[in-house]
């Protein structure tokens, strides 16, 4: 469910909602990844976009030593 009149609820709204379900003793974070291009651009067609997600995954791989496979 969205919290406003636009389709963007906001990262803080989502994080505050999710926080209710995480035990206080559990470390966690909310990564709000907007993965959509609203308009066509050179090399980036309208539709799904995973650039931000790929950046997060690379950070996690480097930070925690995954092999990237």
- The better pLDDT of the pair 31, 5 is held by 31
Residue 19 has pLDDT above 90, yes or no: yes
- The better pLDDT of the pair 65, 67 is held by 65
How many helices and strands, by DSSP H and E, does the chain display?
A: 2, 2
The pLDDT value recorded for residue 24 is: 94
Residue 7 has pLDDT above 80, yes or no: no
Q: How far is CA 3 from CA 7, 8, 67, in A?
A: 9, 8, 39
Residues 20-63: tens digit of each pLDDT: 999 999 999 887 777 788 888 888 888 888 778 888 888 888 98
- Each domain of the chain, given as residue ranges in start order, spans 1-31, 33-69
Q: Answer for the pair 34, 14: CB distance below 8 angstroms, yes or no.
A: no
The pLDDT value recorded for residue 56 is: 84
* C-beta atoms surrounding 30 within 10 Å: 13
End-to-end alpha carbon distance in the chain: 34
């Amino acid at each position: 469910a969205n919290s406003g009149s636009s389709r963007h609820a906001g990262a803080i709204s989502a994080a505050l909602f999710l926080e209710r379900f995480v035990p206080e003793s559990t470390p966690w974070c909310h990564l709000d990844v907007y993965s959509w291009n609203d308009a066509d651009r050179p090399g980036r067609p309208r539709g799904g976009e995973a650039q931000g997600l790929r950046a997060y995954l690379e950070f996690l791989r480097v930070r925690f030593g995954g092999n990237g496979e």
